[in-house]
């Protein structure tokens, strides 16, 4: 019996000494942030190459049935976003109540504005074709510099954008209030990591709902979350640039209202490197065409070119601006390299700007 007690005492002493030695090394510290798997697909994952860093090659692009230039990967993401809205967002009682409430509010406020704008844009499209037929030599000059004007690409309005409010980027474009629980349902544990995901779009409602815009927003909503955050930041900057350039052209205070910006065409650039967008803006019953490059890299700012309806021949300065924009787009496509050629200085603001759609 005494031997058993002695053996048990020696065993306890050994355990105590082992714990003391382990504590002397200090507590275990986790190195680096905790990594969590993204819920979104990765753009064409590159092969593992030990010798050189792997580079993602952009997929070939083609025309879709709305006239956009897209990759097969982008269209798969559009479908992924549709499925995620149905399987993740719609089953949530909170999200469903939130969407139902805001869809009803939208129907009573923004929808009548868009219905009226639709007839306005139909008239602008007719006017565009009349101007092209009347001044073909002017448009030949623009086309030679890869600028066709927003109305060139057709008009595909969405009759009821509310059915897509289960998608967070569509929601962001058309609903000005904020609901953390709604967005957290989509982004899961990545929501808190990106401040750009935690603030509303200051120009919500300014973009007329088109199939081109809806499809772009669906594709973006399935990108890696850092790209989604950069898209939101870039769209805020681009909208302000569009408004500022119209102020420069008109030399007056510019206030854009609901539905004044029309996106009629987009192209995916590179491997999640950016988006080219084309469209038109209505201001004081006149239309302005725009083309823009929206990089999905925080170190590269968006770039936009805006001009009038096409009755006046383009100037040397306008050619320099559109050529600079085209070069930026080619860089994002992967067909050109960044060089030291200075870009034309932007037009200095000559009018006050307010893009608030209220």
Q: What is the pLDDT of residues 125-150, one digit of tens each?
A: 888 888 888 989 999 999 999 999 99
Flag whether 40 is in a domain: no
Flag whether 127 is in a domain: yes
Which band of pLDDT confidence, cut at 50, 70 and 90, is reported for residue 257?
very high
Percent of the chain scoring above 70 in pLDDT? 80
Q: What is the structure's pLDDT at 28?
A: 42
Flag whether 35 is in a domain: no
270 has pLDDT over 50: yes
Which band of pLDDT confidence, cut at 50, 70 and 90, is reported for residue 53?
low
Give pTM, 2 decimals: 0.83
Flag whether 50 is in a domain: no
Note the helical H segments in the chain. 2-24, 72-84, 93-108, 110-134, 136-144, 168-174, 180-187, 211-221, 225-250, 316-333
Burial of 67 (0-12, 13-18, 19+ CB in 10 A): middle
Q: What is the pLDDT of residues 313-333, one digit of tens each?
A: 899 999 999 999 999 999 999
- Do 148 and 279 touch, CB atoms closer than 8 A? no
Give mean pLDDT, residues 91-106. 97
Flag whether 64 is in a domain: no
263 vs 283: CA distance, rounded Å: 15
Number of domains in the chain: 1
- Do 205 and 264 touch, CB atoms closer than 8 A? no
Flag whether 8 is in a domain: no
Q: What is the mean pLDDT of the chain?
A: 84
Which band of pLDDT confidence, cut at 50, 70 and 90, is reported for residue 212?
very high
Flag whether 184 is in a domain: yes
Q: What is the pLDDT of residues 153-197, one digit of tens each?
A: 999 999 899 999 999 999 999 999 999 999 999 999 999 999 999
Q: What is the structure's pLDDT at 45?
A: 54
Q: What is the structure's pLDDT at 180?
A: 96
Flag whether 67 is in a domain: no
By residue range, what is the domain housing residue 171?
72-354
Q: What is the structure's pLDDT at 261?
A: 97
């Amino acid at each position: 019996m005494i031997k058993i007690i002695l053996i048990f005492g020696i065993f306890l002493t050994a355990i105590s000494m082992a714990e003391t030695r382990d504590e002397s090394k200090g507590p275990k510290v986790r190195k680096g942030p905790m990594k969590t798997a993204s819920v979104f697909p990765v753009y064409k994952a590159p092969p593992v190459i030990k010798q050189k860093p792997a580079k993602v090659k952009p997929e070939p692009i083609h025309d879709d049935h709305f006239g956009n230039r897209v990759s097969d990967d982008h269209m798969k993401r559009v479908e992924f976003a549709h499925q995620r809205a149905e399987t993740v967002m719609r089953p949530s009682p909170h999200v469903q109540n939130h969407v139902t409430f805001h869809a009803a509010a939208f129907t009573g406020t923004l929808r009548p504005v868009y219905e009226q704008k639709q007839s306005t844009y139909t008239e602008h499209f007719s006017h565009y074709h009349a101007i092209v037929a009347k001044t073909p030599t002017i448009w030949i000059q623009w086309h030679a510099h890869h600028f066709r004007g927003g109305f060139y690409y057709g008009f595909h309005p969405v009759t009821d954008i509310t059915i897509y409010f289960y998608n967070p980027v569509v929601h962001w474009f058309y609903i000005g209030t904020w609901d953390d629980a709604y967005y957290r349902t989509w982004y899961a544990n990545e929501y808190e990591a990106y401040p750009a995901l935690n603030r509303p779009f200051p120009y919500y409602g300014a973009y007329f709902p088109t199939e081109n815009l809806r499809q772009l927003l669906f594709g973006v909503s399935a990108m890696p979350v850092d790209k989604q955050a950069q898209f939101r930041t870039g769209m805020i900057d681009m909208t302000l640039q569009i408004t500022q350039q119209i102020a420069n052209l008109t030399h007056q205070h510019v206030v854009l209202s609901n539905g004044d910006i029309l996106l009629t065409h987009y192209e995916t650039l590179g491997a999640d490197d950016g988006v080219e967008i084309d469209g038109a803006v209505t201001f004081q019953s006149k239309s302005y065409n725009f083309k823009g490059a929206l990089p999905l890299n925080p170190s590269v700012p968006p770039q936009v070119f805006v001009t009038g309806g096409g009755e006046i021949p383009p100037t040397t300065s306008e050619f320099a601006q559109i050529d600079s924009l085209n070069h930026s787009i080619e860089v994002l496509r992967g067909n050109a390299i960044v060089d030291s050629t200075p870009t034309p200085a932007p037009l200095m603001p000559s009018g006050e700007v307010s893009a608030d759609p209220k």
